[in-house]
Amino acid sequence: MNPVMLITGGTRGIGAAIARAASQAGYTVAITFETSDVAADKLVTEGSVDLAIRSDAGDEAAVVAAFAEVVETYGRVDALVNNAGIAGSYGTIDTVTGEMLERLWAVNISAPFLYAREAVRHMSTANGGRGGCIVNISSKAAVLGGSGEWVHYAASKGALESMTTGLAKEVAAVSIRVNAVRPGLIETDFNEHASPGRVERVRPMVPMQRSGTVEEVAAAVLWLCSDASSYTTGAFVDVSGGR
């Protein structure tokens, strides 16, 4: 049977690119989504996704149910990609509200923790599992800080990176590898959350003098899930053009 990859937030942008690349690489692909029915149906119809599950990343019961559905359907999960994430908003700290932070933490921090928990329970060789890999989609903002744009978003990705480092050490002995990818300025609709012209404004700050593509991010994810990176865990792969 083909290895099974579960991608959270897999209907658009980076998530959809990972799904397509994984399918081409021979994975059986399952994705979660919250509202993008049309995009999910398109990926299933084109053959890039085998199972699309509507699920709220901010709800623990929904996370547990989504992971269980993949295992029930295919009997296994070999790779988990924690891709689902939200910006919260675009603006300085005086625009941040408690309600915004609560949802941001739920989707960007709690959901990856919960999906990782379910993956470890399933994959751990100590529990009779086959081992596997977890790839967290962070952001270069975790390093740069997001000043003047989204410090709150950067902080959520910083928490995800701390989890990546600690969990990689915690589960290395039970045959699970945990790594992260840090996309930089990537051409996706994520930039629609920012002020108009953000891509053009930031591009000159990138040493390579261009924005990246979702396919370039997907390639890094697929490498981290492959046997080519079998001795790599607790690592961060920057896909940011040198910024």
Structure confidence at residue 194 (pLDDT):
67
Taking alpha carbons only, the member of 199, 197, 212, 200 closest to residue 242 is: 212
Provide the number of structural domains found in the chain.
Answer: 1
Q: What's the pLDDT at 188?
A: 83
Q: Is 153 a catalytic residue?
A: yes
Averaged pLDDT, 159-166: 98
Strands 79-82, 132-137: pairing is parallel
Beta strand extents in the chain (DSSP E only)? 4-7, 28-33, 51-54, 79-82, 132-137, 176-183, 236-239
Q: Taking the CB of residue 109, how many other CB atoms lie within 10 A of it?
A: 19
Cβ neighbours, 10 Å, residue 123 = 26
Q: Show the domain range for 21.
A: 4-239
Asked if residue 201 has pLDDT above 70, the reply is yes
For the chain, the average pLDDT equals 95
Of the candidates 182, 192, 194, the one whose C-alpha atom is nearest the C-alpha of residue 242 is 182
pLDDT tens per residue across span 47-99: 999 999 999 988 999 999 999 999 999 999 999 999 999 988 888 999 999 99
State the CB neighbour count (10 A cutoff) for residue 128: 7
Task: Write the CATH number for 192.
Answer: 3.40.50.720
| pLDDT range class, residue 173, cuts 50, 70, 90 | very high
What is the pTM assigned to this prediction?
A: 0.96
> Which one from 27, 115, 153, 231 is the annotated catalytic residue?
153
